[in-house]
Structure 1
Amino acid sequence: MTDLVTLAELGSPLAVIGGAAYARHASPAAYWSTVGLPLSVARLLASYSSTMDACGLAVEPSRWRALAVRATTRREVRPVPPRRGIIRPTSTGLRMRLRLVPGQEPADVAASAERLRHAWGVHAVHVRDVKPGVVELRLVGFDVLRKVRMPRRSGSRPLEVPVALREDATAFVRDYRTVPHELVLGATLSGKSMYLRNLVTGLASQPVVLVGIDCKRGVELAPFAPRLSALATDPDQAAELLPVLVKEMEDRYDLIKTRQGIKPGTAEELITSDIWGLPEDERPAPLVLVIDEIAELFMVATRKEEERRDEMVTQLIRLAQLGRAAGIYLEVCGQRFGAELGKGATMLRAQLTGRVCHRVNDEASAKMALGDIAPEAVQASCAIAPELPGLAVVGDTSGGWSRIRTPYLSLADAAATCRATAHLAPDVPALNPFRPFVPPLPGAEPDSVATASPVTE
Structure 2
Amino acid sequence: MSDLVTLLEVGGPVAALGGGAAYTRAKHPRVYWPVVGLPISTARLLGSYGSVMEACGLTVAPSRLRVLAVKATTRREVRPVPPRRGIIRPTSTGLRLRLRLAPGQEPADVAASAERLRHAWGVHAVYVTTVKPGVVELRLVGFDVLRNVRMPRKATAELLKVPVALREDATPFVRDYRTIPHQLTLGATLSGKSMYLRHLITGLARQSVALVGIDCKRGVELAPFASRLSALATDPDEAAELLPVLIKEMEVRYDLIKARQGIAPGTPDEEITSDIWGLPDSERPVPIVLFVDEVAELFLVATKKDEERRDEMVTQLIRLAQLGRAAGIYLEVCGQRFGAELGKGATMLRAQLTGRVCHRVNDEASAKMALGDIAPEAVFAACAIAPEMPGLAVAGDTSGGWSRIRTPYLSLSDAAGICRESAHLVPDLPALKPFRPDTPVRPVESSAPAVQPHPVTD
TM-score (norm 2): 0.96
* Separation (CA, whole Å) in 2 of partners of 1:349 and 1:73: 66
Q: How many residues align?
A: 445
Spell out, residue by residue over 1:119-167, the C-alpha distance to the aligned partner (whole angstroms, 9 max, x if none). Answer: 0000000000100000000000000000000000012321000000000
Which residue does 2:347 correspond to in 1? 346
Q: Look up the SS of the partner of 2:376 in the other structure.
A: coil
> Is 1:36 matched up with 2:40?
no
Q: Look up the SS of the partner of 1:137 in the other structure.
A: strand
Which residue does 2:56 correspond to in 1? 55
1:268 CA displacement: 1.1
5 Å-filtered alignment, 1:49-448, equals 49-443=50-444
Which residue does 2:455 correspond to in 1? none
1:265 CA displacement: 2.7
Counterpart residue type for residue 275 of structure 2: D
* Separation (CA, whole Å) in 2 of partners of 1:127 and 1:406: 23
Q: Look up the SS of the partner of 1:246 in the other structure.
A: helix
Task: Give % identity.
Answer: 79
1:346 CA displacement: 0.2
* Separation (CA, whole Å) in 1 of partners of 2:290 and 2:197: 12
Does the CA contact (< 8 Å) of 2:317 and 2:349 recur in 1? Answer: yes
1:71 CA displacement: 1.6
Counterpart residue type for residue 227 of structure 2: P
Counterpart residue type for residue 357 of structure 2: V
1:270 CA displacement: 0.9
* Separation (CA, whole Å) in 2 of partners of 1:251 and 1:174: 27
* Separation (CA, whole Å) in 1 of partners of 2:83 and 2:350: 43
Counterpart residue type for residue 407 of structure 1: P
* Separation (CA, whole Å) in 1 of partners of 2:291 and 2:40: 47
- After TM superposition, which residue ranges in structure 1, 4 or more long, deviate above 4 angstroms? 1-6
Counterpart residue type for residue 372 of structure 2: G
Q: 1:258 to 1:26 in 2, by over 3 A?
A: same
1:63 CA displacement: 2.0
1:390 CA displacement: 0.2
Spell out, residue by residue over 1:290-310, the C-alpha distance to the aligned partner (whole angstroms, 9 max, x if none). Answer: 000000000000000000000
Unaligned regions of 5+ residues in structure 2, if any? 447-458
Does the CA contact (< 8 Å) of 2:50 and 2:82 recur in 1? Answer: yes
* Separation (CA, whole Å) in 2 of partners of 1:322 and 1:172: 26
1:442 CA displacement: 2.8
Rg comparison, structure with higher value: 2
Counterpart residue type for residue 92 of structure 2: S
Does the CA contact (< 8 Å) of 2:395 and 2:403 recur in 1? Answer: yes
Spell out, residue by residue over 1:213-251, the C-alpha distance to the aligned partner (whole angstroms, 9 max, x if none). Answer: 000000000000000000000000000000000000000
Q: Look up the SS of the partner of 1:404 in the other structure.
A: strand
1:172 CA displacement: 0.1
Q: Look up the SS of the partner of 1:44 in the other structure.
A: helix
Counterpart residue type for residue 278 of structure 2: G
1:55 CA displacement: 0.3
Does the CA contact (< 8 Å) of 2:394 and 2:405 recur in 1? Answer: yes
Q: Look up the SS of the partner of 1:393 in the other structure.
A: strand
* Separation (CA, whole Å) in 1 of partners of 2:205 and 2:183: 18
Q: Look up the SS of the partner of 1:318 in the other structure.
A: helix
> What's the C-alpha RMSD, in Å, of the aligned pairs?
1.2
Q: Look up the SS of the partner of 2:126 in the other structure.
A: strand
Does the CA contact (< 8 Å) of 2:374 and 2:398 recur in 1? Answer: yes
1:75 CA displacement: 1.7
* Separation (CA, whole Å) in 2 of partners of 1:91 and 1:5: 39
Unaligned regions of 5+ residues in structure 1, if any? 446-457
Spell out, residue by residue over 1:299-354, the C-alpha distance to the aligned partner (whole angstroms, 9 max, x if none). Answer: 00000000000000000000000000000000000000000000000000000000
* Separation (CA, whole Å) in 2 of partners of 1:369 and 1:103: 38
Counterpart residue type for residue 338 of structure 1: G
